[in-house]
């Protein structure tokens, strides 16, 4: 009787351990856990880039749409939000001389995934075109030669 | 029994593992979708920005879009006017090809005028609503749906000068009552004529009675003197309405000193001079060596007064405000100079901010940023006059606030095609140096200070001086030289003269923006 009872306990403990570990083991085996973490990082970075685009757009508006290119290279980590990764951000604002009145904002984020083994290096790109609201006022309206009408 | 328990526990744990797996997968897709939605927004905004820049450049450059926006309009119109075919969308294609937007498919990109309505008292000036739409299919890895971003901005088409019907006047005063004492001017004129009438035959008699060099001297003086008895030699008297409008200075480059516009005061000065010369003539008329010269000077002074009255009615129209159709027309023209006429045409408004830069600093900041500026700018200076100085290239209509305006040698050397128009309706208006502009003066609103007009010593306004009513006091110095405004743009639509001088501004503010799931 005693021997049988011990056997039941052993069985129950074994089942509990296997049952608890099984989903985790399955997740690790299928790479699901890793992908979930990557997605969470990707979402974090995408959110940051979305906000940063708005910030740079506002910077353009407040600084009067300067024609000189603006570049910034900085790094930050996401440890405060529980992500053990460090991100490098390279942003660029450029006046498109080929398309007067348009500014291009480009941001590139690079980081290393700590759980990804050889696929560690990740990249996220974000961009936005912004119109200078003063375009059209800067250039003097001109008349095409040979068009009809009085040119006074 | 025990075995069943173990199997049950395992089953429950397996199911929980499955749910966890599904939840994790769902979370992954949701976060992916969220990233795709953000990318859609930035892509759609980028496509619209590229199109918007094209539109902003096209609205004031000769072409189909410029023509479409300048079409006459008699009533509000909500017909869709598609502008997309006239815009270059190459930048949109470049943007779509970027790595971060891989998988997005452009379904539709368009811009057009959704609504337009004319501004008061105009068929060409209008407010319109431009709507931009970018419709994209999201990448195949996300849900198979399309999204459309719609964004609207207002467009205002305004004239950067006064209404063209006023162009012909170098000087216009809608209500000029009190500009001069017309009965007194006529009385002095009659007095001068009555004195010249006997003088002329007396001079002829003196000539006939003389010989040699004295006779030659009389003949020379008589050649310079009008015979008041000759038919048509004397002008008619001025009309003497109780209330009148006053306008004229039609020929280009014609100049008028403002002081002599008070003709009665000017003729008073001439009569005082005539009185002195007549006394001298009476004293020397028997002295053959001095008589001809004294008579000539007296006659010349009288003639100056007579010709001044002739020129006054030749150059200007004194229009009785008596309810006639002509008078009603003058009142209509006056209304085109009121602050209430210009206010809805403002394309930019610069407001006073006690903690920020002054309106004047804001204006010059804007001009330095833009370089060559055109458009209608409302300056809401309430207490301090805005000082306009230096060159203001472009075609600007500046609407000064009740704080007034100082025009300090502004646009003294204008470039061909440039024209500045300044509208003021209250507060001090002071002109210093040589200013090239059209000055339109309205009337103050309730609670606003009275408008005063002052010309500094030696100042000259080249352009036009147009006012709703005579300022009090009337400036006793300064001059106006007529120069009609040059149109901002050539006649874009081949013969529609009124389209000249129209400037199109696209608002920097977004009227509305919405995303639709299709």
**Strands B105-118, B126-137: parallel, antiparallel or unpaired by DSSP?**
antiparallel
Q: Is the pLDDT of residue B16 over 80?
A: no
- Asked if the Cβ–Cβ distance from A39 to B32 is below 8 Å, we say yes
Nearest partner of B318 among B256, B264, B246, B248, judged by Cα: B246
Q: How close, in Å, is residue B70 to chain A by CA atoms?
A: 14
Judged by CB atoms closer than 8 Å, whether chains meet at A137 and B373 is answered as yes
Q: How far is B52 from chain A (nearest CA, A)?
A: 7
pLDDT tens figures, B57-86: 899 888 899 999 999 999 999 999 999 999
Residues 6+ apart with CB under 8 A from B437: B407, B410, B411, B419, B420, B421, B422, B461, B462, B463
Of the partner residues A15, A132, A136, the one whose CB lies closest to the CB of residue B60: A136
What is the 3-class SS of B304-323, one letter each residue? Answer: HHHHHHHHHHHHEEEEECCC
Alpha carbon of A84: minimum distance to chain B alpha carbons (Å) = 19
| CA triple B479-B480-B483, angle to 5 deg | 155
Helix (H, G, I), strand (E, B) or coil at A52: helix
Residue A125's nearest CA partner among B146, B46, B28, B515 is B46
Compare all CA atoms of chain B with the CA of A105 and give the residue at the minimum distance.
B46
Whether B32 has its CB under 8 Å from any CB of chain A: the answer is yes
**pTM confidence score:** 0.80
Q: How confident is the model at residue B497 (pLDDT cuts 50, 70, 90)?
A: very low
- Look at B24 and A40 and tell me if their CB atoms are within 8 Å: no
CA distance A12 to chain B (A): 6
Dihedral of the alpha carbons of B398, B404, B407, B410, in degrees to the nearest 10: -20
For B:345-384, CB contacts with A below 8 A are 369-375
Closest CB from A36, A50, A148 relative to B28? A36
Q: What is the mean pLDDT of residues B434-454?
A: 96
Q: Flag if A151 and B490 touch (Cβ within 8 Å).
A: yes
Tell me the average pLDDT of chain A: 78
Distance CA B372, CA A24 (A): 68
pLDDT 10s digits, A68-114 = 899 999 999 887 777 788 999 999 999 998 998 899 999 999 998 87
């Amino acid at each position: 009787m005693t021997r049988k009872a011990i056997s039941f306990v052993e069985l129950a403990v074994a089942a509990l351990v296997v049952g608890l570990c099984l989903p985790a083991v399955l997740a690790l085996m299928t790479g699901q856990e890793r992908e979930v973490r990557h997605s969470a990082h990707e979402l974090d970075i995408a959110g940051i880039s979305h906000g940063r685009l708005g910030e740079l757009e506002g910077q353009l508006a407040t600084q009067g749409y300067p024609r000189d290119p603006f570049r910034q290279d900085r790094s930050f980590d996401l440890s405060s939000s529980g992500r053990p990764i460090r991100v490098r951000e390279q942003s660029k604002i450029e006046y498109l001389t080929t398309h007067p009145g348009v500014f291009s904002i480009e941001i590139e984020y690079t980081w290393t995934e700590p759980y990804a083994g050889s696929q560690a290096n990740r990249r996220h790109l974000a961009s936005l075109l912004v119109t200078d609201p003063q375009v059209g006022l800067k250039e003097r309206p001109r008349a095409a030669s040979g068009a009809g009408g009085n040119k006074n | 029994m025990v075995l069943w328990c173990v199997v049950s526990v395992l089953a429950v744990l397996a199911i929980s593992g499955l749910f966890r797996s599904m939840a994790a997968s769902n979370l992954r897709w949701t976060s992916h979708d969220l990233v795709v939605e953000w990318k859609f927004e930035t892509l759609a905004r980028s496509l619209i920005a590229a199109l918007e820049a094209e539109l902003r450049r096209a609205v004031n450059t000769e072409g189909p879009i410029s023509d479409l926006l300048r079409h006459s309009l008699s009533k509000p119109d909500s017909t869709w006017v598609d502008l997309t075919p006239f815009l270059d969308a190459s930048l949109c294609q470049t943007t779509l090809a970027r790595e971060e937007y891989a998988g997005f498919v452009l379904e539709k990109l368009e811009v057009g005028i959704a609504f337009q309505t004319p501004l008061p008292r105009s068929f060409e000036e209008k407010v319109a609503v431009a709507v931009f739409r970018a419709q994209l299919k999201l990448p195949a890895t996300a849900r198979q749906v399309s999204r459309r971003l719609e964004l609207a901005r207002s467009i205002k088409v305004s004239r950067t000068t006064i209404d063209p019907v006023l162009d012909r006047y170098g000087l216009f005063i809608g209500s000029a009552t009190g500009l001069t004492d017309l009965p007194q001017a006529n009385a002095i004129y009659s007095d001068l004529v009555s004195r010249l009438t006997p003088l002329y035959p007396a001079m002829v008699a003196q000539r006939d009675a003389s010989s040699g060099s004295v006779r030659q001297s009389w003949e020379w003086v008589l050649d310079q003197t009008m015979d008041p008895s000759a038919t048509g030699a004397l002008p008619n008297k001025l009309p003497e309405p109780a209330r009148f409008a006053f306008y004229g200075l039609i020929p280009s480059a014609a100049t008028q000193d403002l002081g002599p516009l008070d003709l009665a005061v000017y003729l008073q000065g001439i009569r005082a001079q005539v009185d002195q010369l007549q006394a001298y003539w009476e004293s020397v008329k028997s002295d053959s060596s001095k008589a001809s010269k004294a008579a000539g000077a007296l006659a010349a002074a009288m003639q100056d007064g007579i010709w001044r009255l002739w020129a006054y009615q030749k150059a200007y129209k004194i229009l009785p405000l008596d309810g006639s159709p002509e008078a009603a027309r003058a009142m209509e023209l006056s209304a085109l100079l009121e602050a209430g006429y210009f206010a809805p045409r403002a394309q930019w408004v610069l407001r006073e901010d006690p903690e920020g830069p002054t309106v004047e600093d804001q204006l010059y900041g804007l001009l330095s940023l833009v370089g060559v500026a055109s458009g209608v700018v409302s300056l809401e200076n309430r207490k301090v006059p805005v000082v306009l100085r230096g060159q203001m290239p472009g075609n600007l209509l500046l609407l000064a606030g009740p704080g007034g305006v100082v025009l300090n040698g502004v646009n003294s050397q204008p470039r061909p095609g440039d024209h500045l128009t300044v509208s003021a309706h209250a507060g001090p208006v002071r002109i210093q140096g040589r200013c090239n502009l059209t000055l339109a003066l309205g009337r103050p609103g309730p609670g606003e200070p009275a408008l005063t007009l002052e010309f500094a010593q030696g100042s000259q306004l080249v352009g036009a001086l147009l006012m709703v009513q005579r300022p009090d006091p009337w400036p006793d110095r300064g001059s106006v030289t007529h120069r009609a405004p040059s149109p901002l743009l050539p006649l874009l639509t081949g013969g529609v003269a009124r389209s000249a001088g129209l400037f199109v501004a696209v608002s920097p503010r977004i009227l509305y923006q919405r995303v639709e799931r299709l």
